Amino acid sequence: MTAQEYKERVEQALAACFTPSHCPTDGLAEAMNYSLMAGGKRIRPMLVLEFCRMAGGELEAALPIACAIEMLHTYSLIHDDLPCMDNDDLRRGRPTNHVVYGECTATLAGDALQAEAFGTILRSSLPAERRAACAEDLANAVGLDGMCGGQYLDMIGEGKRLSEDELDEINTRKTGALLIAACRMGVHAAGGTDRQLEAATRYGAAIGAAFQLRDDMLDVTSTVEELGKPIGSDAQEGKNTYVSLCGLDECARRIARLTEIAKAALAEGFSDPAFLDELADSMAVRKN
């Protein structure tokens, strides 16, 4: 499949997840859908589906897993934008969830999407051991040692001068963990080998590190129109970034090196990694 075909497949599946049911909670479902269906690159579900394909699995069986990780990702975006966190009023070129629905409903929309992500995995048709492995990887990526822990470290680090090791600790959890989980969950969905799981983990770690470097660069070099959200906010809020630590040129060099590391990892576990090689290259130069 092409990236566009994967994206369309995911969009169709996501659109069917939270349809109006004429019940009192339809307003919450509307708020969930507002952010879930706001577009985006769908990189994480794409990784799930392509790693599943490469490991010999069936895409249709892995589609709920792909939807689940996008629900989880969307929850994190809604909560990141809240006034108590980054206090952003624009996401993907549209008003953020709390601007449209209010802070309480936005908070609940994020909470519900997190719960539904795990429910979607556990209700899927995959064998029980594969469902459990996917759910465990997702929980590890989101909890204390994953995204939430990384967000906490990021919050308490604001206004302080952090070392590069401390910044790595934040971003490995906050950004890298969920991308690693997407890769691993695709292999789990297919019942892949330990070797494939290791290759997927190393690929996810490398593109996760490159993704954060590129994010930091775009906050300096992009425009609101290209990025779909405010720019320059890292500097305004006194956040530590790789650009502030090592500069734009060094960030670009590191992205190139990490992209090659990611592609080398794939070659050790899979026979036909062309799609993910191209994806790593495209992420290295993305504009949003």
How confident is the model at residue 121, as a pLDDT?
A: 98
- Give CA–CA dist 65/123, Å, rounded: 10
Which pLDDT tens digit goes with each residue over 162-186? 999 999 999 999 999 999 999 999 9
67 Cβ contact partners less than 8 Å away, ≥ 6 residues apart: 10, 13, 14, 17, 45, 120
Which pLDDT tens digit goes with each residue over 89-125? 999 889 999 999 999 999 999 999 999 999 999 999 9
How confident is the model at residue 160, as a pLDDT?
A: 87
**Which residues of the chain are modeled with pLDDT < 50?**
none
Domains of the chain are: 3-284 (1.10.600.10)
How confident is the model at residue 238, as a pLDDT?
A: 63
